[in-house]
Structure 1
């Protein structure tokens, strides 16, 4: 039984992938996984801050944009980035009880 942490390109962080159910891991392994997750989890607020800066930049571009198609693209980009922030907050709230992807 192992757990790997796989980089998620969309979120910009590594996410845990369990090969078994959480309860099947030994206490030692659970603690090891949680320790690694806490290290990754600690980077999430900085990642969110970076994405918020991207959103602000795109909003500034949108305010000055006169081309309708480009405006639509900027709006779409902003919505995508906001979705990433939402998902990052969900992962950030994942703490001591792990609801991770399980692979069999």
Structure 2
């Protein structure tokens, strides 16, 4: 399935990377892609929880930080992590319709 997915280092998960229209793939290939995606999609909430844990640690550090420059850096890191979480939720929700095809 590696040929149908690309590792997104920012998100920490593989994402679909299809080179043809969906209908151009054989039914067997479609099913294999959907099964593989379902496994990846199932890991997204765990990945989000990992990132939330990192955000919580950075927020705790931020509350004790008196250096303005370091506070700005922490805020930026927190914003970046929140952006990743948002993108992960988009992948999780947007592809629910794909996952529903798997069960038809």
TM-score range, shorter chain: 0.7 to 0.9
Structure 1 unmatched runs, 5+: 99-104
Structure showing the higher strand proportion among its residues: 1
**Equivalent position SS for 2:98:** coil
Larger relative CO (CA 8 A, sep 6+): 1 or 2? Answer: 1
Aligned CA-pair RMSD: 1.6
Q: Identify the structure with the greater helix proportion.
A: 2
User: Which portions of structure 1, spanning 4 or more consecutive aligned residues, are displaced by more than 6 angstroms?
Assistant: none
TM-score between the two structures when normalised by the length of structure 2: 0.87
Aligned residues: 97
- Normalised by the length of structure 1, the TM-score is 0.87
Question: What stretches of structure 2 of length at least 5 have no aligned partner?
Answer: 100-104
CA separation in 1, counterparts of 2:24 and 2:98? 14
